[in-house]
Structures are given as C-alpha cells and as structure tokens.
Amino acid sequence: MTDPSDLRILILADVNSAHVQRWASGLAKRGLQIAVWSFDIPANDWYSKHRIKVYAPDSPSFFGKFRYFFAEKKAQEAIDDFRPHVVHAHYASSYGMIGRKTGFHPFFISVWGSDITHFPNGMIRRSIMRKNLDAADRIFATSHMLTQILEHHWGVDAVRMPFGVDTEKFQEKKFNHYFPSSSVVVGTVKALESIYAIDFLLAAFSMVQKRRPDLPLRLLIAGDGSLRNNLIRQASRDCIPETVKFVGKVPYDAVPLIHQEIDIFMNVSQYESFGVSVLEASSCGKPVIVTETGGLPEVVEDDETGYLVSVGSIVQMADAIERLAENVALRSTMGANGRFFAASKYNWDSIIEDMVGHYRNVVDFQ
C-alpha cells in the first residue's frame, strides 16, 4: 500500500481561499507532497512552512482575456514539473474545467456549493459542467444536500467530504476583548453581503434589546464586504449605542478568539451549501442559531446544539436569542452538546485521513 509520503497531489484551486489552505496544509502535515495551482497570486506566504509548492501567475493580469487558454497550458506545465499522482480540482466549474482539459488521470473534483447550484444556469454552462463531472474519476461534495443534487440532477455519485473543524484549535474557552465579561455576546463571522442576511441579524438583535432592556446584550460582527457602511448605519439607527461592534475581516488564525468571545453564534444566511463557521462555534462550546436552508441543517441538531429558524424570520431569530440570552444553563448545555457533535462527526483529522485513503486507493490500483 502506498505510503502517504510518496503521494504527490496537485490541487487546482484558489490559493487565497482559507478552505484551500486548510486542505493543502492538512494533507501536507499528514506527510503528502502537495502543490497548488491557482489563477491568482498568493496574498501571503502561508505555504512555505508546510513545504507546499505554489504555481501562480507572475502578475495579476497574466491570464487576461485569454484566461482559460493560457491557464490550460500553465496547468499542464505544473503537471509536467510536479509529476503528481492525482490532480484534484476544488470547485467544479473553473478549476474543474482546467483539470478536465489537461486530460490528466486520476482526476478528482470537489464540489463546494455555488459551482453546482448557481454556475450551470444556461445550456453552455451546463454543457461545461457535464463534461467536467464526466471527466472526474471521483467526485466529492461538502454536504448531503450537494450529493443529492449531483445524484438527482446530474446522475453522478459523489462522496460526502465536508469541511471539518480542528477541535484542538477551536476549543471551549472564554475570551473577552471587545466587551466586558458580564455581557451576553451575540455574534457572527460572515462576509457582509446580502446572501448572509446580516441586516436580519441586526433587526432581530434590536427587537430583543427593545423587548428585554434588562439583558446585557452585545453584538459582535466579524467580516467585511460591500454592505459594511449600510449595516453600520442600520446598527446606529436601530440598536442601543455602543452595543454593536464591527471588527472587520479577521485572519483565520484569530477566528477562534472571536468564537470564544461570542456566547450565542448566529448564521442566518438566505442560502448556504454548508456551515463551517457553525461547526467552529459548536466546537468552541457555543449554542448556535441557524437558518433552515441548504446544507445548514446538517451542522445543527435542533433543540440540542442550537435552534433552526426560518429564513428571513426576524421574530424567530429574536425569540431564539432571547431564550438563550436569559438562560445561562441552557447555553452551557447546548454548547456542550455542540462540542460533542462537532468533535464526533466533523473532526478534521478524521476527514483528512478519509481523503488520504481515497488518494492511496486510486494510486494503489493504477
């Protein structure tokens, strides 16, 4: 059987994605030789310490209008140089197409979400996706919801391979930096874009403040995006002054500190194919409030690790906040349940080991 240190895996993916960085570094720590080919220049050097090789353009505009023509050629050059055992595209549309065009096998595709739910919205794009999926030797998807889409709408089998959580990094601790320790901190870690419905979160928080002025509620929002100024104005208008803090985008290494300050975590997206941030909050022992959409219900046990609420229901969100904010014992119980749920079903080391098993399997039987 192939030793992991003998395996060379070329990942085709966005080098600046936190999830890609986690996959690449996790596999490298397991002993595999990893390279990442990307359309984009790395924003920082996260890869050298893991001995990961990165193939990236020399300048941001390198590919230009002939992006995919030059990309195919450059990806082939990376294959010739690195000599991988497996090429693995993370994202079934763009990177899946580049991987397919190289003709390399074994070829894996990981479906993340919008690549299969939003990209194939016309005949041409659907044709591209059909070819990409047909070219793959194995297909992975982050959630049951996505595997069902792949099976029912595309007729292909996919292995569920979620983004797991590092339970050593995301631990049950209490950290106070932004608010006093006496506060009950509601919070989220999401981009400030419309799909993540931070405006609904603010409205629900404001509703509870008006209902229950006796509760020492605070709101911590980590993330940045195009709606930042609008959301700050909404908070200034509707919420009690000084109770809401926007801390901007937080480096991934600092995300556990955000979760450890939060007492009640919220992800009230209009749609989401999975919910890594929910699992990270649960791993930190925090109860969660999550909308019942897409793959999110898979990462919550309703009434056990948190509450599922209807998309767009400010009243349900507010009711859940109030219920948890007034009951510290309930928060503690749900948080402990969440920690067990994350550690037992989404442990990152186990998920990495599963992926290594798939790599070894195809190489051993070549």
* pLDDT by 10-residue block (mean), the chain, 366 residues: 81 95 96 96 95 86 58 93 98 95 97 88 92 97 94 95 94 92 97 97 98 97 97 96 95 94 97 93 98 95 98 98 98 98 95 96 79
CA 141 to CA 120: how far, in whole Å?
A: 16
Sign of CA dihedral 161, 166, 171, 175: negative
Question: Does residue 354 sit in the same domain as residue 328?
Answer: no
Please report, for residues 2, 79, 86, 366, the alpha-carbon distance to residue 6 in angstroms, rounded to integers and kept in the order given.
7, 16, 12, 15
Q: Nearest Cα to 185, choosing from 260, 268, 254?
A: 260
In a shared domain, residues 203 and 154: no
Q: What is the pLDDT of residue 241?
A: 87
Supply the pLDDT for residue 6: 85
Asked whether residue 278 falls in the same domain as residue 139, the answer is no
Cα dihedral 232, 257, 281, 185 sign: negative
Q: Which domain holds residue 91?
A: 4-163+348-364
Evaluate if pTM is beyond 0.75. Answer: yes
Residues 294 and 356 in one domain: no
Residue 93 lies in a domain: yes
**41 Cβ partners below 8 Å, 6+ apart?**
15, 56, 57, 59, 60
Q: Answer yes or no: are the C-beta atoms of 250 and 259 closer than 8 Å.
A: no
